[in-house]
Amino acid sequence: MKTSKRQAGFGSSLFELLSSMRFAIGLLTILAIASVVGTVLKQNEPYPNYAFEFGPFWFRVFETLGLYDVYHSGWFLVILAFLVLSTSLCITRNGPGFVKDMRAFRDKASNVSLAAMKHSIELEGRIAPEAVAGYLGREGFRFKVREREDGATLFAAKKGVANKLGYFFAHIALVVICIGGLIDGNLPLKLGELVGRVVPETRDIPQSQIPEQSRLSAGNLSFRGNVTIAENKSADVIFQNAGNGYLVQELPFIITLKKFYVDYYNNGMPKLFASDIIVTDKRTGKETPATVKVNHPLIVDGVAIYQASFGDGGSPLELKGWNLAQPAMAPVTLRGTSLATQPLKANGRDYQLEFGELRVFNIENMGGAQGDAKTFSERMHDAREVKHEKALKNVGPSISFKLRDAQGQAREYQQYMAPITQEGASYLISGVRSEVAKPFQFLRLPLDDDGKIDTFMRLRAALLNSALYDEIAARTTAKALQGQAISPAMQQQFQSSVKWVLARFAQGGFSALEQFLDERVPADKRQAVAQTYVKILQGAVVDVMDVAQAKAGLAPLPEDGKHYRFLLDGLVGVSALNDYGAPVFLQLTGFEQVQASGLQMTRSPGKNLVYFGSLMLVIGIILMFYVREVRLWVLCYGDRMRVAMSSNRHSRDLDSDFARHTESLNQLVRDA
């Protein structure tokens, strides 16, 4: 097929190599292997994560190799470039031959060469040329008739030459797709970075202060970046990741987020994420309102705007602050904004209150562990059922915050606003942890009949107030006497025991009592003594509550199981607050949700080229696979004729085709 009249110099052997099949297969393989790298190593993470994972040495090595963004690294682009080059050269090399071949009828074939073909047969009989021509025409062949000097007539027919066209379609398509991809890739940006015209910003500073060298003009051909906009706020730039930093891409318009919303299915799974936005053209000032949803981007000025993420946009919060060191103090109202930091002064000390995200919905799976102990028939039943009631539940809004002291030490808290019901009783839940990596430990504070924590706080205040112990102990002792739990002789001793237990509990909760036991009581007696303490506490807590209620001018709690449980939970709560580690208990009481929407914006002018190339690719593959190129020769000479066939591939189909055509031609001979 190839004509090698060329000088066999370096240039031509290079051409030979680059356009060769060997080289192409090699490239395909290398490209496949290189692609694996980027799927195994997570791409485009913040650099500190990599440094942490690999240690300083390998971090450097991998950075130099460009492994944190493989698909945009120089070497990867070089492989792609070689693939484009190799495919283009392959086309230029094979193309002319293929075109010539498509055009040709191969009407020079001699009887000898036809006889040498794998599918070739000599038939007896004479047949009119018109009959052959008619048959070939009916069978969809294009053919050329050649009267030969020896008096023989040759019909050289062909069908399905579009198969070769497929080669052009498919291979040109690949070049087209790669060019489209290149236009949308960040090659110009990489070059800009290389010559130092573009420098990614690594500091976390306000957008307006970012220097010119890290900004890209709105005229930039292609880009892809993100921006988070809070409700009723606007943005006219997006941020593009660039290695260890980011770049600011100016937009030709301003985007204002009016509202972000999420819909949920009945089972708590999200159903819709959407943003109502207004796009204002910077030049004309024209405003276009629109809604962007997942899978339904908005396209303005060739820029596609996508719903990419969402979050809190800084919501005003209202909290109630209970001073834990001064339990008798009334709570104060505190205002703040989520995602913002504000100072907090408590008991003469300075703290930083760093609010995190306000989450209005917290969907939790409240169902217990999925039972392993299911019977076979239960399992069969489950396997038949396509709908299971999941115990998914919205546990309501929550706010997280960190409380940082003057030394910079911080603890993180998570406060839920709505009560949680467990076994019929309501609680307020608060999570705390001292390190981000640890799981939250949850505190359950029992709620009173009004659904408030006020009664609990009152109980706590009384428990910690040693001035009340005399009165409490007196009441408890009187009850014990009355119930004949103790003898009159023990009265004095019992009363002081009550006071001692209360004081010790006030100091450090259950663990303070435990510690005392461990230090002072012989091991064999601990169990018994501990039980006594617990009994005393459980008895005294009723009186603590009564005294607290009386002092507040309120009616005592009814004496029933429900309220007794409240008191016991109260003891657990008071004890646990010792490990809470905050000077104040901040209860979330109200908020005004302001959401933020994360929008991704892209401009990719190469997209249409890529789609066009893809269409060509599919057409090309169909032509190559499913259009069979067949050549048929009928050579009539005297009372005989020779039928021969060839095809570029698919020999089995050719077998049956050949049989069919010879049979039909034979039939024509017989009919003649």
Partner 1 sequence: MELVHSYENPSLLKRLSAVDWGYALLVLAAAAYTYVLYGEMLDYYEKAILAGASLGLVAMGWFWKPWRAFFPASGLLALGGISLYHGDLARGQSAFWLKYALSSQSAIMWMCTLFFLATAMFWAGLIRRSDTLQKLGSGLTWSAALMGLTGMFVRWYESYLIGSDVGHIPVSNLYEVFVLFCLITALMYLYYEAKFAARQVGAFVLLVITAAVGFILWYSFDRQAHEIQPLIPALQSWWMKIHVPANFVGYGSFALSAMLGIAELLVLRDAKRAELAGGEAQPGWFARRLPAADVIDEMMYKAITVGFLFFTIATILGAMWAADAWGGYWSWDPKETWALIVWLNYAAWLHIRLVKGWRGEPLAWWAVIGIVVTSFAFLGVNMFLSGLHSYGGL
Residues that bind ligand HEM (CB under 6 A): 19-21, 24, 28, 83, 86-87, 90, 94, 163-164, 167, 170-171, 174, 621, 624-625
Within positions 534 to 553, which residues make up the interface with partner 1, using CB under 8 A? none
The CB density around residue 100, as the number of other CB atoms within 10 Å, is 10
Q: Which does 271 bind (CB under 5 to 8 A by kind): ligand HEM, partner 1, none?
A: partner 1
Which one of residues 529, 607, 627, 628 is an interface residue with partner 1 (CB under 8 A)? 607
Nearer to ligand HEM, 20 or 400 (CB): 20
Indicate the burial class of 668 (C-beta count within 10 angstroms; 0-12, 13-18, 19 or more): middle
DSSP 79-98: HHHHHHHHHHHHHHHHHHHH
What is d(CA 322, CA 331) in angstroms, rounded to the nearest whole number? 5
Q: Which does 497 bind (CB under 5 to 8 A by kind): ligand HEM, partner 1, none?
A: none
Stretch that binds partner 1, among 95-103, 276-284, 459-467, 597-605 (CB under 8 A): 597-605
Q: Is residue 482 a contact residue for partner 1 (CB under 8 A)?
A: no
Q: Is residue 5 a contact residue for partner 1 (CB under 8 A)?
A: no
> What's the closest the beta carbon of residue 399 comes to partner 1, in angstroms?
26
> What's the closest the beta carbon of residue 171 comes to ligand HEM, in angstroms?
6
Number of residues that bind partner 1 (CB under 8 A): 67
Q: Is residue 17 a contact residue for partner 1 (CB under 8 A)?
A: no
> What's the closest the beta carbon of residue 19 comes to ligand HEM, in angstroms?
6
Per the listing, tokens 């406060």 go with 415
Helix (H) or strand (E) holding 409: none
Q: Is residue 670 a contact residue for partner 1 (CB under 8 A)?
A: no
3 state SS of 251: strand
Are the CB atoms for 602 and 303 separated by under 8 Å? yes
For 593-614, what is the HEC assignment?
Answer: CCEEEEEEEEECCCHHHHHHHH
Within positions 192 to 251, which residues make up the interface with partner 1, using CB under 8 A? 224
Stretch that binds partner 1, among 108-116, 383-391, 412-420, 460-468 (CB under 8 A): 383-391
Within positions 363 to 382, which residues make up the interface with partner 1, using CB under 8 A? 370, 379, 381-382
> What's the closest the beta carbon of residue 509 comes to partner 1, in angstroms?
42
Q: Is residue 36 a contact residue for partner 1 (CB under 8 A)?
A: yes
Strand partners, 276: 259, 291
Q: Is residue 625 a contact residue for partner 1 (CB under 8 A)?
A: yes
**Which contacts (CB < 8 Å, 24+ apart) does range 324-330 have?**
324/577, 324/580, 324/582, 324/583, 324/584, 324/585, 325/583, 327/457, 327/460, 327/461, 327/464, 327/465, 328/461, 328/465
The torsion region of residue 316 among left (phi > 0), alpha (psi -120 to 50) and beta comes to: beta
Q: Is residue 75 a contact residue for partner 1 (CB under 8 A)?
A: no
> What's the closest the beta carbon of residue 384 comes to partner 1, in angstroms?
5
Stretch that binds partner 1, among 150-158, 265-273, 527-535, 553-561 (CB under 8 A): 265-273
Token duo for residue 542: 């009723």
Nearer to partner 1, 15 or 261 (CB): 261
Q: Is residue 621 a contact residue for partner 1 (CB under 8 A)?
A: yes
Q: Find the largest Cα–Cα distance for the chain.
A: 145
Q: Which does 535 bind (CB under 5 to 8 A by kind): partner 1, ligand HEM, none?
A: none
Nearer to partner 1, 331 or 613 (CB): 613
Which one of residues 540, 601, 641, 645 is an interface residue with partner 1 (CB under 8 A)? 601
Q: Which does 87 bind (CB under 5 to 8 A by kind): partner 1, ligand HEM, none?
A: ligand HEM
**Which contacts (CB < 8 Å, 24+ apart) does range 450-459 have?**
451/419, 451/426, 453/322, 453/428, 453/587, 455/545, 455/557, 455/566, 456/570, 456/573, 457/322, 457/327, 457/331, 458/545, 458/548, 458/549, 458/552, 459/541, 459/544, 459/545, 459/548, 459/567, 459/570, 459/574
Nearer to partner 1, 39 or 284 (CB): 39
Q: Which does 370 bind (CB under 5 to 8 A by kind): partner 1, ligand HEM, none?
A: partner 1
Strand order in the sheet with 640-647: 119-124, 640-647, 630-637, 153-159, 142-147
Nearer to partner 1, 451 or 605 (CB): 605
Are the CB atoms for 556 and 566 separated by under 8 Å? no
Token duo for residue 399: 């706010």
What is d(CA 541, CA 574) in angstroms, rounded to the nearest whole number? 11
> What's the closest the beta carbon of residue 32 comes to partner 1, in angstroms?
4
What is d(CA 623, CA 627) in angstroms, rounded to the nearest whole number? 5
Q: Is residue 649 a contact residue for partner 1 (CB under 8 A)?
A: yes
Q: Which does 171 bind (CB under 5 to 8 A by kind): ligand HEM, partner 1, none?
A: ligand HEM
Q: Is residue 29 a contact residue for partner 1 (CB under 8 A)?
A: yes
DSSP 479-520: HHHHTTSS-GGGHHHHHHHHHHHHHHHHHHHHHHHHHHHHHH
Picking from 507, 531, 508, 530, the residue whose alpha carbon sits closest to that of residue 517 is: 530
Picking from 612, 571, 596, 582, the residue whose alpha carbon sits closest to that of residue 227 is: 596
> What's the closest the beta carbon of residue 396 comes to partner 1, in angstroms?
22
Which one of residues 14, 17, 28, 116 is an interface residue with partner 1 (CB under 8 A)? 28
Within positions 274 to 303, which residues make up the interface with partner 1, using CB under 8 A? 293-297
Task: Show the binding pattern over residues 120-139: x = contacts partner 1 (CB under 8 A), - = does not.
Answer: -------------------x
Are the CB atoms for 586 and 161 separated by under 8 Å? no
Nearer to ligand HEM, 21 or 383 (CB): 21
> What's the closest the beta carbon of residue 76 comes to ligand HEM, in angstroms?
15
What is d(CA 263, CA 460) in angstroms, rounded to the nearest whole number? 41
Q: Is residue 24 a contact residue for partner 1 (CB under 8 A)?
A: yes
Task: Report the chain's terminal Cα–Cα distance, integer Å.
Answer: 41
What is d(CA 592, CA 586) in angstroms, rounded to the nearest whole number? 17
**Which residue type does 578 have?**
N
Binding site for partner 1 (CB under 8 A): 21, 24-25, 28-29, 31-32, 35-36, 38-40, 42-43, 70-71, 139, 181, 184, 224, 265-267, 269-273, 293-297, 304, 306, 308, 370, 379, 381-388, 600-602, 604, 607, 610-611, 614, 617-618, 621-622, 625, 649, 652, 655-656, 659-660, 663-664
